[in-house]
Copies of this chain bind each other. A is one copy, B any other.
Amino acid sequence: MGLIVQKYGGTSVADLDRIRNVAERVVRTYDNGHNVIVILSAMAGVTDKLIGLAASVTEAPDKREMDVLLATGEQTTSALLAMMLRSMNYPARSLLGHQAEVVTDCDFGNARIIEIGAKRMKELLEKRTIVVVAGFQGTDLQGNITTLGRGGSDTSAVAIAAALKADTCEIYTDVDGIYTADPNICHKARKLKEISYDEMLNMASLGAKVLQIRSVGFAKKYNVPVHVRSSFSEEEGTMVVNENSGMEQLMVSGVTHNKDEARITLKKVPDQPGIAAKIFSPIAETGIVVDMIIQNTRVGGQTDLTFTVPKADFKKTLEIQKRIAAEIGAEDVFGDDHIAKVSVIGVGMKNHSGVASIMFNTLARENINIIMISTSEIRISCIIEEKYTELAVRVLHTAFGLDAECETS
């Protein structure tokens, strides 16, 4: 008998029929002798609806009150599921964030979990009660309601699994696992049986959008085995685990792409201390998130500086930079919002040299020009022209031996 934490996302609890589907899955696990903690999101669309409601009140809703409003979404689904389980004659109890003692800091709207008290959850589990916890929400030390940011229910689930030393944390979503590439553009993409926390961290931040990135960090820190799977099928999904747990040692585990960025280049920037701060502070102040930054030293005390921002912030950033370029004496500012980022990710990279050269050669063979390059320990990303995105993903997928056919070899 183990303890299983199951987290169901918004699409899995979108209406009463789907909540019934969740209830049936929960009792199957329970009937197999396990203790179960269920973490729920709000019904799909509800959080956006509440945000819209607040937006009709004021342009800049107070963050603390926003969290009070948003927390109703998960409260509703939790009550409904507990009600449903009890009507099926299973002992179940819903707990809100403060009742489950999910203690966070007071950064409303994006709070971080400090600790999980879990006293009440343990008491309920000892009585073999199914515990239904409203995800996404917590309480700060003053007893205010907080929320954990978009996708925060994932973090609730992993944190609770860590606090209670659960055997597995199952994340039920509308996809059936983590793929080697986006199956919509790469038909040979295949589902991974396992992926490491580090690979997942790189995947998530590059747009794989399956798990909140903070939850993966949490899972890694506390070594919580996370099972990403679909709530609409019985199929096994993908286990997110520690890389030492005997996983298949591929050089590259996946190819991801992201078309949501734009590139800005400042030409002939004077190469002086403090220049970077002058360039990036005004962007940060407006809340624009910069992703890649690349700077090549040039001869003659001047340098070209290129960085990427979300496509939606392209025009605004360009305007800001034109002003700054004049101030700091850069020669020119230009940009391009028809770019894409293609990345290959894999813990295997650490042990295999030559990943970068395979990647660059593969793209070169297709005459795909590489505009920017950035690397991390287990990831290489290239900025290319947007129109080549699908082609690049497919040829890289083949080049790194990820195509579905290869699986049988």
A98 partner residues in chain B, CB cutoff 8 A: 98, 143
- A16 touching B57 by the CB < 8 A rule? yes
Residues of B within 8 A of A57 (CB): 16, 19, 80, 83-84, 87
Closest to A142 in B: B120
Pick the residue among B58, B82, B94 that contacts A83 (CB under 8 A).
B58
Q: A79 an interface residue at 8 Å Cβ cutoff?
A: yes
Q: Mark A62-93, 1 if CB is under 8 A from B, else 0.
A: 10111011011001101110111011000001
Question: Which residues from chain B contact A56 at a C-beta distance below 8 Å?
Answer: 16
Bound CA–CA A62/B58 (angstroms): 37
Q: Roughly how many angstroms separate A143 CA and B75 CA in the complex, as a whole number?
A: 15
Interface on chain A toward B: helix, strand, loop, or mixed SS? helix
Closest to A74 in B: B72
Closest to A69 in B: B79
Does any Cβ of B come within 8 Å of A53's Cβ? yes
Residue of B nearest to A83 (CB): B65
A174 CB to closest chain B CB, in angstroms? 22
What B residues does A283 contact at CB under 8 A?
none
| Docked pose: A19 CA to B69 CA in angstroms | 15
Tally of chain A residues near chain B (CB < 8 A): 38
Q: Is A45 an interface residue (CB 8 A)?
A: no
Quick one: which of A88-123 are within 8 Å of B by CB? 93-94, 96, 98-99, 120
Choose one: B64, B66, B75, B87; the contact of A72 (CB below 8 Å).
B75
> Which residues of chain B come closer than 8 Å to A76, judged between CB atoms?
50, 69, 72
- Distance between Cα atoms of A50 and B94 in the complex (Å): 16
Residues in B with CB closer than 8 Å to A87 are 57-62
Pick 28 A–B contacts, CB within 8 A, sort by A.
Answer: A16-B53, A16-B57, A57-B83, A57-B87, A58-B84, A58-B86, A61-B83, A61-B87, A62-B87, A64-B93, A65-B80, A65-B82, A65-B83, A65-B94, A66-B83, A68-B79, A68-B94, A68-B96, A69-B76, A69-B80, A69-B83, A71-B75, A75-B75, A96-B145, A98-B98, A98-B143, A99-B143, A120-B143
Leading 5 A-B pairs by shortest Cβ distance: A58-B87, A69-B79, A68-B79, A72-B72, A65-B83
| 11 further A-B pairs in the complex, CB-CB below 8 A; given A50-B76, A62-B86, A65-B80 | A54-B80, A54-B83, A58-B86, A62-B83, A68-B75, A68-B78, A68-B94, A75-B75, A96-B145, A98-B143, A99-B143
A contact set with B: CB distance below 8 Å: 16, 19, 50, 53-54, 56-62, 64-66, 68-69, 71-72, 75-76, 78-80, 82-84, 86-87, 93-94, 96, 98-99, 120, 143-145
